[in-house]
Amino acid sequence: MFDDVTVIGAGRAGSTIAARLRERGVVLRDDAELRLLCVPDRTIPEVARTIERGPWVAHVSGGTALSALEPHTTRFSVHPLQTLTTRRGAEQLDGAWGAVTAETPEANERAVWLAQTLGLRPFALADDARALYHAGASIASNFLVTLHRAAAELFEQAGVPSEALVPLMERTIENGFELTGPIARGDWETVERHHAALRGSDLEPLYSALAEATRP
């Protein structure tokens, strides 16, 4: 659909996307038919304004409205719903989903093509639902890091190896997020012992908010 693409930005997203497009035989060059903005969210409007009107313009941000691409009207976005690291290459897009936002059938066709060319499973995201979507993604990934940090800190304090947490967390996902443990059993004495162990620590408010949200 696009024979050539200009990838703007070489961070985690830009370098991964460029590698995948290259693998798929898409030519990467300046002034291409599609200008793909892989720059930090807050700089999208200013970069978009530097592009002369004419080509398709798109961004890969989950939290940024299409209006950030003004004055362009031939526009769309594809957000790879994945945590990307510079230690991996294009293969890290495999198996991930991609949020596609477009205002016209033509734009949608191009957005879906891009998602599929990147190896993403596309789904439609309404422009005005982005904040909810992106908050959900952030909770699922970024706050998972926070949970692990908190648990690892407690394991360290208890003198036990924090790598033991990994098979537990992996299996929690693999088991379809089935709730087990004291809250699932209604064992409030054990929950109270956790509270007591954390009293006065930085982790106490976090534990309380999470325990409250977990109760049936």
Region 153-182 residues binding a copy of itself, contact defined as CB under 8 A: 153-155, 157-161, 163-173, 175, 177-182
List 83, 108, 113, 116, residue binding a copy of itself (CB under 8 A): 83
> Which 3-22 residues touch a copy of itself, going by CB under 8 A?
12
Q: Six-digit token pair at 212?
A: 């409250």
Number of residues that bind a copy of itself (CB under 8 A): 95
Short-list 175, 190, 188, 197, CA closest to 215: 188
> Which 31-60 residues touch a copy of itself, going by CB under 8 A?
40-42
Strand partners, 102: 76
Least distance (Å) from a copy of itself to the CB of residue 159?
Answer: 6
Q: Is 24 in the site for a copy of itself (CB under 8 A)?
A: no
> Which 85-124 residues touch a copy of itself, going by CB under 8 A?
85, 87-88, 92, 95-97, 99, 121, 123-124
Neighbours of 136 (CB within 10 A): 12
Neighbours of 57 (CB within 10 A): 26
Strand partners, 59: 37, 77
List 16, 107, 134, 216, residue binding a copy of itself (CB under 8 A): 134
215, 203, 142, 62 alpha-carbon torsion, rounded to 10°: 70
